Amino acid sequence: MIDLPQPTGAELWPPEEAEPQSRLNQPWRAFVALGEVVVAAFALWAAFALWHAGVVTVVTTAGDGAQLASQRYFGGHIAGALGLGTLTAVLVVDAIRQLLLAVRARRRKRES
């Protein structure tokens, strides 16, 4: 077992902050949240458009007149759609965070 020195009163961690913390409650964050929701809506629309462009139905007529239908998938389009879907989810979560910080966060009272 290693015997480490114990901190004294002056060496406590984390050290006290010399300057006050910045305020989290800032009303302009609501506009940031609105902008993120708008960008997320466009990203979601683009994700659906890419997904539909990535799946193509191919119909072939056989020699006896039978029609054979199959699906062809384009990986780049589908990967782009999944990436845009992920971006949409991150933007919506951050918009919720920004909105909560615009409305609810208040400065903590310092204890003396």
* Inter-CA distances, 49 with 53, 83, 87, 90, Å: 6, 13, 15, 19
Distances (CA, A) of 43 to 2, 11, 37, 79, 98: 55, 50, 10, 14, 19
Per DSSP, 19 falls in state S
- pLDDT over 90 (residue 7): no
Tokens of 65: 């007149």
| Tens of pLDDT, residues 31-82 | 999 999 999 999 999 999 999 999 999 999 998 989 999 999 999 999 999 9
Confidence bin at 27 (pLDDT 50/70/90): confident
As a whole number, the mean pLDDT across the chain is 85
By 3-state DSSP, what share of the chain in percent is helix, strand and coil, each rounded to 5? Answer: 50, 10, 35
Assess whether pLDDT exceeds 80 at residue 90.
Answer: yes
Query: Would you state the pLDDT for residue 28?
Result: 86
Q: Report CA Rg, the chain.
A: 27
Backbone φ and ψ for 48, nearest 5 degrees, come out as: -65, -40
Q: What is the pLDDT of residue 104?
A: 74
